[in-house]
Every structure is written in C-alpha cells, then in structure tokens.
Amino acid sequence: MVAGNADSPVPPRVYIHPDSLASGETWMRQVISFDKLKLTNNELDDQGHIILHSMHKYQPRVHVIQKERGEDLSPVRAVPQGDRTRTLSFPETVFTTVTAYQNQQVTFT
C-alpha cells in the first residue's frame, strides 16, 4: 500500500579510499580504515560526501578493482563490472540512517 511519495534518487557516488591505488600486498600489510569517509543527507552536497536518505537501510560494499595503467577511477562514475572487479559485503555492516538520536548518551565530536 502506497503511504506517500518516494524519495528522489540520490546522485551516485563512490568513495575512493585515499590510499588507492596500491598493490594487494600493500593492502594486506595494514588495517584498512574508512574513518575519512563522510556521510550526509544534503542532496546538494558538493564536497564529495556520500549522500544517503534518512530512515533508509544501507549495506556498504567494498569494490576491489584491478586497474590498468592510464585508467582513471572516478567517484561519480559507476563501478566497473567484469572479471577485474570483485565486490564484497558483510552482513554485520548493515545500518539504518537517522538525522537525530533521541539518546543523550550518543554524542558526536
């Protein structure tokens, strides 16, 4: 049963890790952190943040892409498909977005 208008689609964006491009050996040497990744619900964002809708469920995916020399990756183009791309997801990373927490013990710095 329709309960209202659907949210408009958000601009497609992909977060390219700041340590990219690197060999598999380099990635295996250390913990991979995504602490520089920024999320927003501002559809007009021009800072390159990943845009999400509030009160929606999301599951992050990690794309491992074999890159050829001279080939560029772009945060606004689709992830390449085919034999040179592997996509990984983990059920424990599913989350629901909110715009405000009602719990005083949840704080942000």
pLDDT at 71 (0 to 100): 67
pTM confidence score: 0.69
Residue range 24-96 forms a domain whose CATH class is: mainly beta
pLDDT at 2 (0 to 100): 61
Q: Could you state, in order of their start, the residue ranges of all structural domains in the chain?
A: 24-96
pLDDT at 14 (0 to 100): 85
Give 10-residue mean pLDDT values along the chain (109 residues). Answer: 74 84 86 89 87 89 81 70 88 88 68
For tokens 């074999």, the residue is: 66
